Chains A and B, each alone.
Chain A
């Protein structure tokens, strides 16, 4: 049995390892197209502040794949032939598979504006991008960050730590609009502004122009910000181009069922390239987050290895550390119509917590949450949402004091009321 995994990010690596653990004798080939061992993009911000070297971003040690009998191949896959069960490589050769897993991730979107292709405009996605940013983001450099989304905010801290003169431009009405609500996004903005970062929300970049002393970043409000470096972090899209003629069903990403199977036999897709089931909505979306990628990788691998593994969707969740202010959001953080809410909001302490409950049978079930300024036991928010624990009388207690979330979790899961 030969398993081919295209893409060596976390989803692909976990898939390869899970197959190996399940079926010790199967042949496994892991294909990556970057000139580096498998690495994690999540680690790039820490590379940018010199917390780690490039090796620190690598997934697993250098001899790990050899030890696991996983063949790691550096190659570009240009297409797949589902009927012939082969992958085509850029050198013209092809590789035959029995089971195929597509884990090719996503790439940054380049906004269609003049000047986006100037030499000192970069995205922050690959190790090569990181190297460029490292060379340009010097102390006192003028840096404009386009996009205060999740990725923008992750690198924001790195840039501040590099002591650059930073401005952040976000089209949305608040920071991280796809992860944080008004209050949370507002707190985050205030936190950044207090720390000397220029944050412009509801603002678009119209164009980037070359100038004698760097670049002019022209905003839609007419303002002009001088920049030595522009970083574009305006979103990502799934890497599906190479399979567009393969017969795979593709929407935003490759459509998969709850076993991570595509519409074609023996082909799976995981991670940022896959449009999988969302736990909270039951709808199929591209989540593009690390925990979903590894969950996908595991589910796909078990099925590829002949087990029967299903999931009932991946929970969308995020955690951000922006200049020391930690924010999280989970599931239906925006709430559901008719569902109750428990909230504390203390802007002077930069603390915020918002719990969202379901409706009907799930009126006492947590379906989403947002936190600002909380680090202890945040994982239980996932636990409570995914395990659909009925909180019973703890719901009212949480409405009275959402900070008791861990108490609610422990009491509900350890059935303390029954202990005598």
Chain B
């Protein structure tokens, strides 16, 4: 099994917590976490609900491998309808809380309705209780975390919590767990806060058992760990440099966007790279990077634990930020850095701390600041409106001021909290928003790297690299090298990555394993752990089923093929210099092929045949 087969249903309106059995029919079709929780969402809600209304569901879900010795098996996801995009939201997080849910005997928690006043959910094994959170409301995620630990006097409680921006309706609020891990994207934290749910605190000591075939499981798990250890990326690159290993690589191949994607190539990339994080700094001789740290059960350990230079302007009068905390990973370093033109590593690290402290998605925040900078430089936003922030590209002071504005809820902070799309619309320049379906881009330029553009355009949760990470193939040659400038073959590549990723996200594993693992490494672990047939083909079929289910949800929510697109800048404005000079995204060539490969109509709708093949109605 490896599922606990138990769900906790929390009705926030009524204030009740009711356990119920997991629907095992669905589990055998949708595996767990992303897939299974989405199935519940699809079955139980109207896709057209207002994401911030009580009618939306907010689901925290683990996978069958969460809490087992499968490497990286500590993940959990938040599944809900996104207020940022209006599409399905599924944000995956590591840290330690996923295992804690599992050890409390829960596969999933479904939150319904809205509490009349702020509450937090406290779970201790079989006990679950909504507790008043009036004193926690208005506190940062870190403060609330500390207060909850103090209330229960149990350092082993794991906590997922939203910060102040979520309470204020900032549309890219994250759910922070274990202080510096986040279900970061698509504003899932905003949904949580809209339900007056400040935090979920859990302590589980029941154990995760019932592995279906223990001997096969340990064989598969140990083989998988060896593959990760022997692989250059997962065995050496990620532990030493984190995902930041990519900064100089992507910049070098002409794939690093800069300044709201106006440019490709960032002259300051080296200053904010993994290599820079390892350089001793002048003030105290210590590097930015203190150590690498792992999430639960992870044998890769890509996590960065960093400090900010105590003499840096951002923290010099704030000793509370002088200790080590979660450092920059690549996407954050890019969005906070290259995309805003800021190459001040300490400023980026500080802003990243604040994103963790108060629950912001650093990608969306950085990109929104970048859009605001362009609007400011073009004269759309005045100095008055910024509250005096001189919002120029490259200004570390402006970046720091912006994050402080968002978390403290100033007028301009609230404006930034709308996200890039609404911000650019507000100032009459929607074309300056670098978003798909309302969600901001990550750190790879779709003009310089073609496949990722198709992945962005078709991602079910809006622009995202983690729904089909074709960079692995297009840049790193995993599992096979494809040319980054080519559009041929990319639709097939994108589909393959999307389906496989859906499996990984539904199993309880981390997608970073796929730098080394193929489905031939993953499927045996799932198959040995779970009852039922989880051969490679069955796994991939489940992945495809999940993808199509998400697509149907979005279609029902009003999305059409017209939304599978990229900003005009990426389709029309050629790269001005560097190795990819002259390129634009060839999305128009790839998209129809992708629909065909998917078994969808030219309008992007799954055909009846496709649906029936996948057991979807």
Contact = CB atoms under 8 A, between A and B. Distances in A.
Contacts, number: 10
A328 to B, nearest CB: 16
Q: Is the interface of B mostly helix, strand, loop or mixed?
A: loop
A84 interface: no
Interface in A332-346: 344, 346
Interface in B307-364: none
Interface in B131-157: 150, 152-155
A120 B155 CA distance: 48
Nearest to B154: A403
Interface size class of A (residues with CB under 8 A): under 10
A349 B155 contact: no
A160 to B, nearest CB: 24
Nearest to B286: A420
Interface in A13-39: none
A223 B154 CA distance: 43
Interface string A118-130: 0000000000000
A349 B152 CA distance: 8
B544 to A, nearest CB: 47
B39 to A, nearest CB: 39
A349 B150 CA distance: 12
Contact of A404 (B152, B154, B155): B155
A351 B155 contact: no
A344 B152 CA distance: 11
Contacts of B152: 349
Contacts of B154: 403
Contacts of B155: 403-404
A398 to B, nearest CB: 13
Contacts of A403: 153-155
B6 to A, nearest CB: 26
A403 B154 CA distance: 8
Interface string B226-260: 00000000000000000000000000000000000
Nearest to A345: B153
Interface in A305-346: 344, 346
B541 to A, nearest CB: 46
A403 B156 CA distance: 11
Contacts of A349: 152-153
Interface string B94-120: 000000000000000000000000000
Which residue of B150, B152, B153, B155 has the most chain A CB atoms within 10 A of its CB atom? B153
Nearest to B155: A403
Interface string A346-384: 100101000000000000000000000000000000000
Contacts of A404: 155
Contacts of A346: 153
Interface in B151-175: 152-155
Nearest to B153: A351
B37 to A, nearest CB: 33
A229 B60 CA distance: 57
B108 to A, nearest CB: 28
A6 B152 CA distance: 50
A403 B151 CA distance: 12
A7 to B, nearest CB: 42
Contacts of A401: 150
A73 to B, nearest CB: 49
Contacts of B150: 401
A351 B151 CA distance: 11
B503 to A, nearest CB: 38
A401 B152 CA distance: 12
A379 B154 CA distance: 18
B281 to A, nearest CB: 15
Interface string B379-403: 0000000000000000000000000
A401 B155 CA distance: 10
A406 B483 CA distance: 54
A346 B152 CA distance: 9
Contacts of A351: 153
A209 B216 CA distance: 72
Interface string A392-414: 00000000010110000000000
Contacts of B153: 344, 346, 349, 351, 403
A10 B155 CA distance: 37
A346 B153 CA distance: 8
3 tightest A-B CB contacts, nearest first: A351-B153, A403-B155, A346-B153
Given A351-B153, A404-B155, 8 more contacts: A344-B153, A346-B153, A349-B152, A349-B153, A401-B150, A403-B153, A403-B154, A403-B155
10 contacts: A344-B153, A346-B153, A349-B152, A349-B153, A351-B153, A401-B150, A403-B153, A403-B154, A403-B155, A404-B155
